[in-house]
Amino acid sequence: MSAKTDDLKIPRHIAIIMDGNGRWAKERGLPRTEGHRRGADSVEAIVEGCGEVGVEFLTLYAFSTENWKRPKIEVSALMKMLEHFLKIKMPKLMEQNVRLQAIGRLHDLPERTQKQLHKTIEATSQNSGLTLILALSYGAREEIIDGIRSLVESVEQGHLDKGMVTADVFSKHLYTRYFPDPDLLIRTSGEMRISNFLLWQLSYTEFYITQTLWPDFRKPQLVEAIREFSRRDRRFGGVG
Write out the catalytic residue numbers. Answer: 19, 67
Q: Tell which residue, 189, 182, 185, has the closest CA to residue 213.
A: 189
The separation between CA 190 and the C-alpha centre of its own chain, rounded to angstroms, equals 18
Contacts of 91 (CB under 8 A, 6+ apart): none
Give Cα 164 to chain centroid, integer Å. Answer: 30
* DSSP-based three-state secondary structure for 98: coil
* Contact assessment for residue 105 and residue 137, using Cβ atoms and an 8 Å cutoff: yes
- The values of phi and psi at residue 138, to 5°, are -105, 140
DSSP, collapsed to helix, strand or coil, labels residue 182 as coil
Residues 6+ apart with CB under 8 A from 1: 49, 52, 53, 219, 223
Residue count (the chain): 240
